[in-house]
Amino acid sequence: MNILYKSEPERGRIWAALLAELAPEAVFRQWPDIGEAAEIDYLVAWQPPEDVSVFTGLKALFSVGAGAEQFDYAALPPDLPVVRMIEPGLTSGMVEYVTFAVLGLHREMPRYLQQQRNRRWLAHPAMPAAKRRVGVMGVGALGEAVLKPLVQLGFDCAGWSRTAKHIAGVASFAGAAQLGAFLARSDILICLLPLTAATEGILNAELFSQLPTGASLIQVGRGKQLNHQHLLNALDSGQLAAAVVDVTEPEPLPEDHPFWHHPALWLTPHIASQAQPESALRALLENIRRFERGEPMHGVVERERGY
Ligand code: NAP
Ligand code: GLV
């Protein structure tokens, strides 16, 4: 198995050492040291080299992240399997971040931090978790995982996806026809959708207006899904009480962007979750072995649906 890796050099060094233990038969090359291009079986990258046609024996392209929208599919052979990253380290990171953000919003931490800045000692009634309705847009590998601890904490949980789901303790809403009903019962809305033609710009004024007044947003999907001005308008009008935003377009934001200092908005620099080198390598190897045994891989992108 010949693997060409083209991403962060530090992770490449860790993978090279781990591979020597876990798959000593593997040949691991790090971009730009491609060796004989025709001998490369698997390419692992955030962005592949411009011309992949030189890799005449290529069997699959693996994304180093959960998203695979960054690839120019027109430049890839139509039958080449493209695989996104599903691995426990990346999933745990997202579970931690979303749980932290939901609890922070549920316990009104943006409001209390503002009070602290103004030296105001003022308690507000606390709402029990069972009365807080949490809605997750995108119930895939990550969306399903973040719902589990939220159900355990007692939140009233729902998910919205393209196809209906059956998850204990989670009300399922599916497709455009059920989006309005899902939004109407989401006090805390979490976006974990992939970026596709259908989800670009989805977090906009029309969507915010369908949420209960005073709802909150956690945006951990992709930057292009969120209309910044519409979010600011919704926060300033009180339609939304607070937002936690991890992904933006562009990244990083310009220095004078209002998100940096809006009192009701917490901004993080696209750190909600990252693939962890060891568990990600184990997941990659498992997928390659599945492929070589003729079994289906986890996370193969369906090009026609866009994720
Ligand atoms: P996934 O397993 O592919 O799940 C995607 C979910 O979105 C599925 O439930 C899918 O519905 C649903 N969906 C897609 N298009 C839809 C539409 N038009 N309407 C309704 N539902 C739709 O993806 P994942 O691994 O959970 O990752 C989700 C996204 O998280 C990634 O694509 C990436 O953008 C983002 N992410 C962000 C970070 C960060 O650090 N901020 C880290 C990792 C990932 P079906 O189940 O019916 O197909
Ligand atoms: C991060 O955003 C990823 O796609 O893994």
- pLDDT reported for residue 245: 98
Q: Which of 143, 136, 169, 149 is nearest to 99 (CA)?
A: 149
Ligand 2: residues within 6 Å at CB?
65-67, 90, 275
Chain-centre distance for alpha carbon 233: 25
Each of the 307 residues of the chain gets a pLDDT tens digit; together they read 999 999 999 999 999 999 999 999 999 999 999 999 999 999 999 999 999 999 999 999 999 999 999 999 999 999 999 999 999 999 999 999 999 999 999 999 999 999 999 999 999 999 999 999 999 999 999 999 999 999 999 999 999 999 999 999 999 999 999 999 999 999 999 999 999 999 999 999 999 999 999 999 999 999 999 999 999 999 999 999 999 999 999 999 999 999 999 999 999 999 999 999 999 999 999 999 999 999 999 999 999 999 9
Residue ranges covered by each domain of the chain = 2-87+275-292, 88-267
Answer yes or no: are the C-beta atoms of 197 and 306 closer than 8 Å.
yes
Q: Is 242 in a helix, a strand, or coil?
A: strand
Q: Check if 2-87+275-292 and 88-267 are the same fold.
A: yes
Ligand nearest the Cα atom of residue 305: 1
Pocket test residue of 90, 219, 279 for ligand 2, highest count of atoms within 8 A of CB: 90
- In whole angstroms, give the CA distance from residue 183 to residue 285: 39
Is 88-267 in CATH node 3.30.450.20? no
Neighbours of 296 (CB within 10 A): 9
Superfamily of chain region 2-87+275-292: NAD(P)-binding Rossmann-like Domain (3.40.50.720)
Catalytic residue ranges: 222, 270
Q: Which ligand is nearest to the CA of 145?
A: 1
Q: What is the pLDDT of residue 233?
A: 98
Atom of ligand 1 nearest to the CA of 139: 9
